[in-house]
């Protein structure tokens, strides 16, 4: 077969502060026919995730390198194999590919790829609850927080792709779960669908002191585990309430990602000392060796309806920048995904 | 025997900000003759330690309760048994007692007590390198930081009772050790006696950015382990330089203990995420079950001259407030101890 004409999104410049759509450009992109050890894929669903903002900082030391301005952006995607020169992959197979996002067609060497079953769950779920965000939630819970039955778990960004799974895994493990999210609709979903014990709409609280008071009331026996997605006043409140022997899984601090000037951290980190508490930063790739264990635990819970999820769906590759920027404006509910192509062609 | 007349120090009020000598009062104190299961002890050496400032906050949740204003203060001491109704303790025995400080005589039930050998080390060493500070250093190194040979260890408050042992244990474990202290004399001792690779006099650096630059130059391969005693710009610098998979043992933040207004924390906590790094607060009592393991490792190192230590000695119980306040002014070199009575009577 000859080369394949499609489109791909490039980053024209690294953002300073909140990213704007003008920084992104949709360009024509030609994908050559696959050579030996390669396969041609078409992207069906692509993911936008907060961690991508970190890859837009060329000067930051991280487990993941920054994005190049000279190549299409990349990110998680569910794709369909069109032509394959890789043993084990057939045309028609669906795969999750960690570099397949932000483009319509691409060549894969099958190195950051695994096959997924379209009959087990909707394809887009492999970017959310059965994908990296779900795995992130599971790793934070099982590898860092290790909540015991009866403990109190506080989750910020609780209506997001990661937080919503954290909340539900916490309930399944017998915790009292206190969730924070940024709208009444999100809080209602958390209580009524995800089953959390208390949902705080953080926009009701003007500052850390007010949020702290609300959290202390919701957590009369202190916070044993805190899953941190947000930073700022959320971390301050959690540190105020952290229990003796408490654990904090530091997954992200989305409130800080687009600041042009660094914002000071919490003034009460010292609480970690007297309470013998732990704070552990992590990104999910550290735990990739446990992906099968994650799938074995979470896929049945999803199939049984014990874990629910929400999606914000954007239609068309050209909407990907809007979907990405929406992550930082609290506009998305649950997992934000972009439909790049039809499930079947 | 009849009751024993002596003196004891009371706290008259909880300090706001830096403690002053006026807050302390030396009062006459009568110690009754020991009843069944009790022994009468006379304090020989007492310890002043930064953690005691935390016990002067009546509103703080901690593993240790706040000091009462109605009883003499308490703290670690090396004491001699004068009369004993406890099996296993004889008059003349020397003991470390975690409640024996801030007074001349007291009754002990032998519950927070262990015997020490006056021939193995100078008695005061049981309050320093062979006591709680040494155990704190050892626990931070062996239970939290777990440095590997060739890794870089950064230590703040490095000339203090805890920090100086951390530095030397780090060298013994094959680390590159970067120490921070507050005077040229302390830095010279750290390099020439404790054997650290680089000593930074933090007073040479005006702000976090300057200290960060100096630390980054001293740690070209990043900071794998950070032992935190100080807080403020030290933590900011360490977080800037923290390695992938780095560990921070949060032992104290002495720069913050006497602030009347809380000071913001570091703006770069987010670095913990991308670097998969850990920060663990601790107080030594958590690891008390491992005290024998500590003694078995550190006592021989001391006997062989492989661990050196310094003391700031204050003569007389009435000097205890001055010794305590000196902790926060950087006036002490090594372990601050107060001689309350003669070694032998």
Spatial neighbors of A265 by CB under 8 A, at least 6 apart, are A235, B264, B265, B266, B267, B268, B269
> Tens of pLDDT along chain B (345 residues)?
567 899 999 999 999 999 999 999 999 999 999 999 999 999 999 999 999 999 999 887 777 789 999 999 999 999 999 999 999 999 999 999 999 999 999 999 999 899 999 998 999 999 999 999 999 999 999 999 999 999 999 999 999 999 999 999 999 999 999 999 999 999 999 999 999 999 999 999 999 999 999 999 999 999 999 999 999 999 999 999 999 999 999 999 988 888 888 889 999 999 999 899 999 999 999 999 999 999 999 999 999 999 999 999 999 999 999 999 999 998 889 999 999 999 998
Q: Are B39 and B109 within one domain?
A: yes
Q: Are residue A89 and residue A8 in the same domain, yes or no?
A: yes
A329 and A222 part of one domain: no
Residue with tokens 């887009």: A124
Q: Does the CB of B290 have a partner CB in chain A at under 8 Å?
A: no
Selection from A250, A248, A221 nearest residue A147 by Cα: A248
Q: Which of A143, A265, A284 to mutate to test the interface with B (most CBs of B within 10 A)?
A: A265
- Whether A329 maps to a domain, the answer reads yes
Residues A42, A161, single domain; the answer is: no
CA dist list (Å): B318 to A85, A289, B321, B339? 85, 61, 7, 10
Residue A248 sits at φ, ψ, to 5 deg, of: -120, 120
Render B52-74 in DSSP notation, one character per residue.
HHHTT-TT---SSPPPPSSS---
Distance from CA of B225 to the nearest CA of A (A): 14
List the one residue out of B92, B83, B88, B87 whose CA is nearest residue B33.
B83
Domain containing A188 — which CATH number? 3.40.50.720
Asked whether residue B141 falls in the same domain as residue B272, the answer is yes
Question: Best interface-test mutation with B: which of A276, A283, A288, A289 has the largest number of B CBs within 10 A?
Answer: A276
Give the residue from B287, B309, B304 showing the smallest Cα distance to B130: B309
Contact map slice: A 75-114 vs B, CB within 8 A = none
CB pair distance less than 8 Å for B253 and A231: no
Q: In a 3-state reduction of DSSP, which class is residue A199?
A: strand
Do residues A272 and A142 share a domain?
yes
Q: Which residue has the tokens 């040229």?
A: B184
Is residue A293 included in any domain, yes or no?
Answer: no
A145 lies in the same domain as A258? yes
* Domains identified in chain B, total number: 2
Interface of A with B in 150-209 (CB under 8 A): none
Strand pairing class (A278-281; A223-228): unpaired
Q: Identify the domain containing residue A321 by its residue range.
A: 4-128+309-339
For residue B299, the SS3 value is helix
Angle at B134 between CA B123 and CA B223, to 5 degrees: 155
Its ipTM equals 0.91
| Inter-chain touch B272–A253, beta carbons under 8 Å | no
- Give the tokens for residue A118: 């379209």
* Pair A194, A70 in one domain: no
Task: Chain B: give the shortest CA distance to residue A35, in Å.
Answer: 35
For the entire predicted model, the pTM comes to: 0.93
In whole angstroms, give the CA distance from residue A31 to residue A102. 14
**Count of Cβ atoms closer than 10 Å to residue B267 Cβ:** 17
For residue A46, count other CB atoms closer than 10 A to its CB. Answer: 31
Q: Which residues pair with B227 in a beta bridge?
A: B155, B249
| Closest-approach residue (CA) in chain A for B241 | A61
Pair B146, B216 in one domain: yes
């Amino acid at each position: 077969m000859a080369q394949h004409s499609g489109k791909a999104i490039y980053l024209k410049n690294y953002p300073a502060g909140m990213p704007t759509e003008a920084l992104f450009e949709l360009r024509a992109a030609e994908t050559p026919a696959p050579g030996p050890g390669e396969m041609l894929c078409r992207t069906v669903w692509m993911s936008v995730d907060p961690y991508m903002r970190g890859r837009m900082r060329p000067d930051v030391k991280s487990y993941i390198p920054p994005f190049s301005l000279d190549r299409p952006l990349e990110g998680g995607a569910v794709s369909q194999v069109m032509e394959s020169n890789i043993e084990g992959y057939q045309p028609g197979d669906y795969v999750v590919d960690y570099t397949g996002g932000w483009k319509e067609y691409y060549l894969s060497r099958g190195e950051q790829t695994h096959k997924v079953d379209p009959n087990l769950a909707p394809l887009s779920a492999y970017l959310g609850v059965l994908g990296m965000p779900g795995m992130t939630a599971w790793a934070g819970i099982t590898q860092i927080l290790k909540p015991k039955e009866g403990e109190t778990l506080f989750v910020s960004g609780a209506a997001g792709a990661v937080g919503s799974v954290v909340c539900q895994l916490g309930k399944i493990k017998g915790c009292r779960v206190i969730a924070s999210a940024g709208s009444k609709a999100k809080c209602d979903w958390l209580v009524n669908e995800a089953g959390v014990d208390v949902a705080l709409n953080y926009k009701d609280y003007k500052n850390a002191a007010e949020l702290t008071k609300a959290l202390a009331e919701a957590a009369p026996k202190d916070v044993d585990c805190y899953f941190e997605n947000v930073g700022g006043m959320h971390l301050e409140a959690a540190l105020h309430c952290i229990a003796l022997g408490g654990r904090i899984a530091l997954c992200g601090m989305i409130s800080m990602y687009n600041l042009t000037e660094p914002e000071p951290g919490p003034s009460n980190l010292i609480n970690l000392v007297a309470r013998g508490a732990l704070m552990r930063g992590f990104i999910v790739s550290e735990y990739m060796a446990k992906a099968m264990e994650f799938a074995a635990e979470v896929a049945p819970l999803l199939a049984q309806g014990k874990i629910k999820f929400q999606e914000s769906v954007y239609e068309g590759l050209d909407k990907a920048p809007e979907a990405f920027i929406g992550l930082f404006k609290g506009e998305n509910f649950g997992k934000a995904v972009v439909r790049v192509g039809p499930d079947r062609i």
